[in-house]
A and B are shown apart, each in its own frame.
Chain A
Amino acid sequence: MDTLIRNNEKLAKHQAGASQKVLNAVDAALKALETARNQLSESIATAGDGDDNCNSTHREAVAKTLLAQVERSQTTSSEQLKELYTNVSKYGKLVDKTFKLDLGGVAESRAFEDKREVLAQTILVHFLREGDFETARRFAAEARLQLPEDTKAQFEEMYGTVAEMRRAPRHELSAAIAWAVANRRRLEAADLAQLEFALHRLRFLQLVEAGQAGDALAYAREWFPRFATRQLAEIEHLMGIFIYARRLGSSPYAALFGERRWEDGAHAFAGAFCTLLGLAAASPLSVTVAAGARALPVVCKVSGLLRDKRIEWSQQNELPVEVPLPDAMRFHSVFACPVSKEQATRDNPPMMMPCGHVVCKASLDKLARGVRPGSIASGRFKCPYCPGLSVLSDARRVYF
């Protein structure tokens, strides 16, 4: 990529030079024309009614000189532009090499054909979630969509609060804490009680950092006790901070004061807020695009092979290839039978053998059927992964 940028700079220089030379060539032609004109007017002035033959010879000479100059100018322009074009083509090939993908090879699925409005709605919701109200409004106007007013109002509250938290140097937490306290019961029900504690913790650290040890202690006395059951270890850890109140930077607590805590706090708040609204913590559109950024190159690479077999990737039941995703993008369990490598389905669920190993039902049946009657322990088969023996009826359904 660095090569690319360097080549680009070289190209820019070349283009500047070449274009200038072309302009100069045109200027030279213009000058030649002006000169020719001047020479002509001189000859008109001096000749008068005189020797017409002599004039016409003179004119011919002027014209011939002019022609030569104009042709020379054209040759220069033509050469310069041709060289420039070649250089651009070379640069283009370098770009092709760096970005080796041919997206034209991936046929688009027809899946979106009649879903324009759904897509528009999805994008609109994305803008709202990201707090981009102005963009949402404009898009709704251009796409002729209804702006869901109540959702917008809810998000507006969140972004005001989060913006205050993020804004340095004040990092105002009061609105966020007020919200968390007001929604305490719902947060507890959603197993998000730690949000309130996290916010109190931020406030506590903020007071300590500002040198207000007394206030910090008072704050801790007021808010921490409710969380004593769940957060005792953390509280005890935090209270030790008073020993180092005057030299936080060199204390074991220094790491707690990193700049990232505000962004982390903001994210935690936004996530909890959205969860209480019944929404996902991160914009689903962003998550999908991120997944697509990983999936598209992979699908692209195999699409050439698919096309040879006349298979459209989008018409199949399953993608032709596995797309590796990070843990953050794993929202459901997938079980692939270690024996058959097939994915578990409702008709072919995962089954546990007494030894604790899990295979899909189809593989299990195969294992059981493979046993010859009258062999060592009739009806029993060995687990493919350990010496454990089992019978088909021992197997138990597993629900991930």
Chain B
Amino acid sequence: MEMDKINVNNMLAIEEPFMKAPLEQLKRSIRQSQKQAERETAQINAAISNMIKNKDMFSAEEMDKALGGFIERLKILRRKLEESKQEEAQLISRSRQRAADLNELSSFSSTEQPEFQRWCRTRMERVLIDYMLRNGNVDTAQHLIENGNLEHFADTSLFALVMSTERELRENHSCRSALQWCAENRSALRKVQSTLEFELRLQEFVEMARERHVADAIAYSKKHLVAWSSTELPRIQRAMTLLAFSPNTDCSPYKNMFDMGRWDYLANQFRMVIFQLFDLPAQPLLHLLLQTGLSALKTPACISDDPTEHNRNCPVCHLETLGKLAQDLPLSHHVNSNLVCRITGERMNEDNPPMRLPNGYVYSHNSLKDMALKNDGKVKCPRSGQSFKISEAKKLFIS
């Protein structure tokens, strides 16, 4: 029965990515506000200081015009800050709602409670929503969100950004959004030493080379690639050499550089970096849960050739679906025995001991007793079909 108790700490532990996500977005939003405010006011300050220094060079009209300009810019800034305020409030609220939902766990006392089972069903939905959003199955995700009232648990906008940028890279072969994002997050990217921006610039260069716009390519490299020469010089040099080759070349590494597969690589890189920055696990939680879960359930019986070893309730024994997924995963580890009666599926322990029939097959005491009561003291082994008297069954001790 102690297994029916709920280990709250362990259960909460896996929810960590759900709790972290809104906070990282929150931090990013505040940082952006800080930068915007600083930039605007710094420029305005500089302009005003300039007017003071060169007071004789500015007429009243010019000054008035300048002030008008500042007012416009500050109004734009104010609007952006207003938007950030709403977004930040929403993120904090989202974080609270998630915490409240998870906190429900501590109010349950046993896994048998229907409330707990309902909580588990919600968890399943959350995990699936996360999976769907990451995979780009937006319609399905939206439907699950609406059905389960799980708006606060889905990081829809974050994944939408990832999806649209990836699509632009993968399908439209354009680096525009990705580069824009890099520009907005330059310092964060530098902190993790990401070369994503360089890779994107390189790709734009390659596309120019592909179109044989050699002069443009060289100008582009001067503007955007040279900045990286302290760390990426060999690759820049290789890029320049690329101009001497035709896009159909078979000569590697130039062939690889022209390969359209690079766009998929860039999309993956973008995804990985943005997840890293937002502290999200690289793979969906569903994968991790399934993999560890399958391993924990997988026993030699599941992969046995003997079909009588399979239990239809065991997920791993579902060879077409979960069994296939479990193929390359480790088996479960046990230092303690746990016996399950083939007839009833119940645990065989001191209260319901395992009984060995003369043919070697073992069943629970209770199941044999039930069988004997209805069959005149006789029991029939379901696996071999042989019949015995119940008195022939011998009690086993396994510890």
- A residues near B, CB below 8 A? 1-2, 4-5, 8-9, 11-12, 15-16, 19-20, 22-23, 26-27, 29-30, 33-34, 36-37, 40-41, 43-44, 47, 55-57, 59-60, 63-64, 66-67, 70-71, 73-74, 77-78, 81-82, 84-85, 88-89, 91-92, 95-96, 98-104, 106, 108-112, 115, 118-119, 121-123, 125, 132, 134-135, 138-139, 141-143, 260, 263, 275, 278-282, 284-300, 313-336, 338, 341, 343, 345-346, 352, 355-358, 385, 396-400
A134 CB, nearest partner CB in chain B, Å: 6
Let me know if A44 and B61 touch, CB within 8 A: yes
Complex: chain A residue closest to B324, CB-CB: A118
Q: How many A-B residue pairs have CB under 8 A?
A: 416
Complex: chain B residue closest to A123, CB-CB: B128
- B residues near A, CB below 8 A? 3-4, 7, 9-17, 19-20, 23, 26-27, 30-31, 33-34, 37-38, 41-42, 44-45, 48-49, 51-52, 55-56, 58, 60-61, 63-64, 67-68, 70-71, 74-75, 77-78, 81-82, 84-85, 88-89, 92-93, 95-96, 99-100, 102-103, 106, 111, 114, 120-121, 123-124, 127-128, 131-132, 136-140, 143-144, 147, 281-283, 285-297, 299-302, 309, 311-315, 317-318, 320-322, 324-340, 345-348, 354, 356, 360-362, 383, 394-399
Bound CA span A351–B70, Å: 89
Contact partners of A321 in chain B: CB under 8 A: 333
B26 CB, nearest partner CB in chain A, Å: 6
Bound CA span A66–B60, Å: 15
Excluding A111-B327, A333-B340, 12 further A-B contacts by CB distance (< 8 Å) are: A5-B100, A12-B96, A67-B49, A81-B33, A98-B12, A138-B143, A289-B127, A295-B293, A314-B328, A335-B337, A398-B356, A400-B340
B80 CB, nearest partner CB in chain A, Å: 10
Contact partners of A400 in chain B: CB under 8 A: 339-340, 354, 362
Tell me what chain A mostly uses at the interface: helix, strand, loop, or mixed: helix
Let me know if A40 and B291 touch, CB within 8 A: no
Let me know if B14 and A101 touch, CB within 8 A: yes
Complex: chain B residue closest to A5, CB-CB: B99
Let me know if B290 and A29 touch, CB within 8 A: no
Residue of A96, A110, A293 touching B123 (CB-CB under 8 A): A293
Bound CA span A295–B49, Å: 63
Could you list 30 A-B pairs, sorted by A, with CB under 8 Å? Answer: A8-B92, A11-B92, A12-B92, A34-B71, A40-B60, A59-B63, A63-B55, A71-B45, A74-B37, A78-B37, A95-B20, A99-B13, A103-B16, A135-B143, A135-B147, A139-B132, A281-B313, A296-B293, A300-B13, A318-B332, A319-B295, A319-B332, A330-B347, A331-B345, A332-B309, A335-B398, A343-B300, A355-B397, A358-B396, A396-B360
Complex: chain A residue closest to B295, CB-CB: A319
Q: Given A110-B328, A121-B321, A356-B394, do A26 and B312 touch, yes or no (CB 8 Å)? A: no
Bound CA span A280–B75, Å: 63
Bound CA span A35–B112, Å: 70
Complex: chain B residue closest to A325, CB-CB: B296
Let me know if B20 and A320 touch, CB within 8 A: no
Contact partners of B300 in chain A: CB under 8 A: 343, 345-346
Q: Given A15-B89, A63-B55, do A336 and B292 touch, yes or no (CB 8 Å)? A: no
Let me know if B325 and A112 touch, CB within 8 A: yes
Contact partners of A142 in chain B: CB under 8 A: 136-140
A30 CB, nearest partner CB in chain B, Å: 5
Contact partners of B383 in chain A: CB under 8 A: 399
Let me know if A85 and B30 touch, CB within 8 A: yes
A311 CB, nearest partner CB in chain B, Å: 11
